[in-house]
Amino acid sequence: MATLADAGSTADPRYTKVAIWLHWLIGLSVIVNIGLAMLTEGLPREAHREAMNVHKALGITILVLTALRILWRLGHKPPPLPAGTPAWQRPVSKILHFLFYLLLILLPLSGWVWMSAADRPIDFFGLFTVPSIAAPSKALADTLHERHELLGITMLVLVVIHILAVLKHQYVDRTRLMGRMNPF
């Protein structure tokens, strides 16, 4: 017969394999894109331009993967938070996940509109040119440039919070939370 002490030793429910792989593909792509945006500023012009071409194509990829992730989530309920999760952390978790999804849509979309308004087509890894979604407009391009950078900084902050929270839950609280998203 199981006791309360035994309850903590059973594995917490996991996300589906599709959700796990989309999480890691999106997460790693976001980290690479933040790095491309922040760490290539001082490179020679041509190297920076090449890095930004990858950044833009990867942004479109993130947008598509996020759409797939949202569609998948609509049909597949995520596992519940571990039983010992404090009550205040539950709404905070929901809010942070909502903000992630919002940024995962707004950040690449703002970049796409910005490039469209700046009349700078996005080359998708040499395979095709992404269609423009806005008419050329210097004012719109300038505004979206600023907004895109602000959204990027916000994403960076959320990524750091997410990683720190996962590490805290795993190693301080010992909830084995990382196992829910372990692809292996």
Quick: pLDDT tens for 173-184: 888 788 899 998
What is the overall mean pLDDT for the chain? 92
Phi and psi, residue 91, nearest 5°: -70, -30
Domain holding 86: CATH number? 1.20.950
**Is there a domain that residue 6 lies in?**
no
| Digit-coded pLDDT (tens) for 41-76 | 899 999 999 999 999 999 999 999 999 999 999 999
Residue-level pLDDT at 12: 53
Rounded-to-integer distance, Cα 147 and Cα 161, Å:
21
**Is there a domain that residue 170 lies in?**
yes
Does residue 20 carry a pLDDT above 70? yes
The pLDDT > 90 percentage for the chain reads: 83
Q: In terms of pLDDT, which residue wins out, 178 or 159? A: 159
Rounded-to-integer distance, Cα 75 and Cα 60, Å:
23
Average pLDDT over residues 111-128: 98
**Is there a domain that residue 2 lies in?**
no
Residue-level pLDDT at 2: 34
**Is there a domain that residue 54 lies in?**
yes
Residue-level pLDDT at 7: 37
Residue-level pLDDT at 82: 82
The pLDDT > 70 percentage for the chain reads: 93
Structural domain range at position 65 = 13-181
**Is there a domain that residue 88 lies in?**
yes
Domains in the chain, number:
1
Q: Are 38 and 104 in contact (CB under 8 A)?
A: no
Does residue 8 carry a pLDDT above 60? no
**Is there a domain that residue 40 lies in?**
yes
**Is there a domain that residue 1 lies in?**
no
Does residue 153 carry a pLDDT above 90? yes
The Cα-based distances of 149 to 45, 77, 119, 152, 154 in angstroms read 19, 33, 18, 5, 9
**Is there a domain that residue 8 lies in?**
no
Q: What is the DSSP letter of 123?
A: E
Does residue 21 carry a pLDDT above 50? yes
